[in-house]
Amino acid sequence: MQTRFDCGELKLNKIPSQREDLGVLEGYHSPQLEVSVRLNTNESPFPLPDAFTQEFGSAIEKLDLNRYPKRSASELCVSIADKEILKESEVFVANGSNEVIQSICLAFGGYGRSALIFEPTYAMHSQIAKITGTRVLEGFRNSAFQVDENLALEVIRRERPEIVFLCSPNNPTGNTESLELIDAILFELNSTGGLLVVDEAYKEFSDTSSELKVSEDSNLAFIRTFSKVRSLAGVRLGYLLAPEWCVNMVKTVSLPYHLDSVKQIAGILALKYEDEMKRNLELIKKERKKVFDGLLSLPMKVWPSEANFLLFKPESIEAYKLWQELLDEGILIRDCSSWDGLDGCLRVTIGSESENDTFLDVVRKIVK
């Protein structure tokens, strides 16, 4: 006879245990504080065009939200494929680029497999790899934040990683990876069977041309996002461009109906506003130069950037003290000073003209 317990009287003696390998992990932290100038998360400072907002609202009204979304998100994939001059079967869309990274790690990583990264770089490459049980191999960049080709190839030959992540432009340093490095890694992975994933979240901000393309005969994949120049950070929409065999493998680990109907419509409509996107892009580049020159005129080390942010190192004040004093003035930037290879460094997102002017004025006041 089964005994039933009164849950109100039941005392918990032991909670369920967490996976042991997750005990050392910390969640991804980027402060969300109520400030007047927020320049810490590389978002676009520009709101979506009014025409987009009106069209988006009308499209949502026509949705049958009681029905599941299109599982394949085919219309959005076709729109992206047309823009990228690819086939629909070479596109996979997900809830932000982070879900794309997770799907890659689930499909190609996992227990007994490894992913190679080069610090300092985007923290979620290693974080997500570890969450999926993938062993993380850490390579390091030199003082100019470049990946040493010989050292990279040595690690690949020795460890034979299933995944290699490169970020170009690299976050948080802003520099791009050379085509020579990518070609050398691809050649090596061709014999080991690994996948090279180039995270291009900031590609549009770069003036460095790239001849890299998706090919069925290549083990090269690209990650892109709608969060930056397309002003859709709040929607969370990213995508993978990869050979059809790679996309098919990634699809096997994605959840059914993982991309909601509202996201799919937002992405389709956003791709229609290329002119507005290009105008905003040029404004960001212009403001990036202004902020770069402004910081360079102060006792600062500033690294050139091909992204929508700048990495800098104050020389006359401690990084955390400058970060705190900016926060006291209602300006939030990113403190990178505790990250591997970034001792004493801060990162500022390029905002609107008025936000950038406020940031520079306050920095000048604090430093001088």
Beta bridge mates, 348 = 310
How far is the C-alpha of 145 from the C-alpha of 301, rounded, in Å?
A: 14
Beta bridge mates, 177 = none
Of the pLDDT bands very low, low, confident and very high (cuts 50, 70, 90), residue 303 is very high
29-69: pLDDT as tens digits: 667 778 899 999 999 999 999 999 999 999 999 999 999 99
Whether 5 shows a pLDDT value over 80: the answer reads no
| Third-level CATH fold of 30-48+275-367 | Aspartate Aminotransferase, domain 1 (3.90.1150)
Structure token pair of residue 31: 């402060």
Q: Which of 181, 172, 199 is nearest to 305 (CA)?
A: 172
Domain with CATH 3.40.640.10 in the chain: 50-272
Whether 28 shows a pLDDT value over 90: the answer reads no
Query: Considering the entire predicted model, what is its pTM?
Result: 0.93
Neighbour-count burial of 260, counting CB atoms closer than 10 A to its CB (0-12 exposed, 13-18 middle, 19+ buried): middle
What confidence score (pLDDT) does residue 27 get? 57
Per DSSP bridges, beta strands 309-314 and 300-302 are antiparallel
Of the pLDDT bands very low, low, confident and very high (cuts 50, 70, 90), residue 212 is confident
| Residue with token string 């003696």 | 13
Q: What is the mean pLDDT of residues 215-234?
A: 96
Query: Could you count the other beta carbons within 10 Å of the beta carbon of residue 258?
Result: 15
316-335: pLDDT as tens digits: 999 999 999 999 999 999 99
What confidence score (pLDDT) does residue 335 get? 96
Q: Which of 225, 218, 257, 252 is nearest to 41 (CA)?
A: 225
Q: Which of 309, 311, 305 is nearest to 345 (CA)?
A: 311
Of the pLDDT bands very low, low, confident and very high (cuts 50, 70, 90), residue 12 is confident
Q: What is the mean pLDDT of residues 74-88?
A: 97
Whether 26 shows a pLDDT value over 70: the answer reads no
| Third-level CATH fold of 50-272 | Aspartate Aminotransferase; domain 2 (3.40.640)
Query: Could you count the other beta carbons within 10 Å of the beta carbon of residue 287?
Result: 19
Q: What is the mean pLDDT of residues 234-247?
A: 98
Determine what percent of the chain falls in helix, strand and coil, rounding each to the nearest 5: 40, 15, 45
| Percent of the chain clearing pLDDT 90 (strictly above) | 88
Structure token pair of residue 152: 């990279």
Whether 340 shows a pLDDT value over 90: the answer reads no
What confidence score (pLDDT) does residue 4 get? 63
What confidence score (pLDDT) does residue 106 get? 98
Domain with CATH 3.90.1150.10 in the chain: 30-48+275-367
Whether 22 shows a pLDDT value over 90: the answer reads no
Q: Which of 196, 110, 87 is nearest to 152 (CA)?
A: 196
| Residue with token string 């004040």 | 317
Contact criterion met (CB below 8 Å) for 239 and 94: yes
Contact criterion met (CB below 8 Å) for 85 and 307: no
Contact criterion met (CB below 8 Å) for 171 and 201: yes
Contact criterion met (CB below 8 Å) for 359 and 49: no
CA atoms within 13 A on the CB side of 20: 0
> What does 243-308 look like in DSSP terms, one character per residue?
-HHHHHHHHTTSPTT-S-HHHHHHHHHHTT-HHHHHHHHHHHHHHHHHHHHHHHTSSEEE---SSS
140-197: pLDDT as tens digits: 999 999 999 999 999 999 999 999 999 999 999 999 999 999 999 999 999 999 999 9
